[in-house]
Amino acid sequence: MNIHWIQHVPFEGLGNIEEWVINNNHALTCTRQFNSDALPKLDSIDMLIVMGGPMGVYDTDEYSWLAEELQFIKLAIEADKAVLGICLGSQFMAAAMGAKVYPGPLKEIGWFPVTLLNEENPIHFTSSTPTVFHWHGDTFELPAQAQHLASTNEVTSQAFSIGTKAIGLQFHLEQTEATIQDMVKNCGHELVDGESKIQSAQEIINEKSFFEENKKAIFGLLDYLSERT
């Protein structure tokens, strides 16, 4: 497959997704929005992966590329391309399909469980309440045509699908020890003491027991999308 990914900031890369791409001999191209790269022609790609970033969907005055990217995501979903959005990427997917994105009731930063919903859920773990990595403050309403896939008590919209080939994850399954450290280094100012769902930098970095299961889940999700492409 020809896989294209969109990177919004230098410190949020593909993580273990790159390993899956290499293992499966797929071609990989990238639009780095911070370098003002051009988006590709839609008919040249088979799968689109939209990564995270500290900006918001509503920051159109600050980021001139934002409106064009939202339109590109909308066209990709409507063209029945495989689309995976992670964190900010899932918020962009929701906004592109007409749903509201807004500041959530609290920030979730660190390793916390989600509840998987829907018997046909393509996100597979051994538990229905797996622990995954979060770093988000905004949340979103589900697009009208979406299936709800995961939630937490505090932030309901954690994952959704549109049809069988577009999936948005508010949380991060792609993280590695190196990418976690990059996140803490670049966004550590958000780790405010005393907040109920914000872990300390040390708690985040020291937790290593969930990487393998999260990696298996993201690889399974990518397999699921590629089988439908």
Q: Tens digits of per-residue pLDDT, 149-204?
A: 999 999 999 999 999 999 999 999 999 999 999 999 999 999 998 888 999 999 99
Q: What is the residue whose two structure tokens read 């995976």?
A: 84
Distance in angstroms (rounded) separating the CA atoms of residues 56 and 91:
8
Q: What is the pLDDT of residue 195?
A: 84
Question: If you average pLDDT over every residue of the chain, what do you get?
Answer: 97
Rounded CA-CA distance 70/88 in Å is: 11
pLDDT at 1: 96
What is the C-alpha separation between 176 and 12, in angstroms, rounded?
Answer: 11
Assess contact for 162 and 122: CB atoms under 8 A: no
The mean pLDDT value for 75-100 works out to 98
Domain boundaries, the chain: 2-227
In tens, the pLDDT along 117-126 reads 988 899 999 9
> In the predicted model, is pLDDT for residue 133 greater than 90?
yes
pLDDT-derived band at 207, boundaries 50, 70, 90? very high
2-227, CATH topology level: Rossmann fold (3.40.50)
In angstroms, the Cα distances linking 39 to 31, 42, 97 are: 6, 9, 19
pTM: 0.97
Residue 119 pLDDT: 86
Asked if 97 contacts 185 with a C-beta cutoff of 8 angstroms, the reply is no
Q: Rounded CA gap, 161 and 145, in Å? A: 9
Q: Is 176 exposed, middle or buried (0-12, 13-18, 19+ CB in 10 A)?
A: middle
Whether 97 shows a pLDDT value over 90: the answer reads yes
pLDDT of residue 228: 94
pLDDT of residue 7: 98
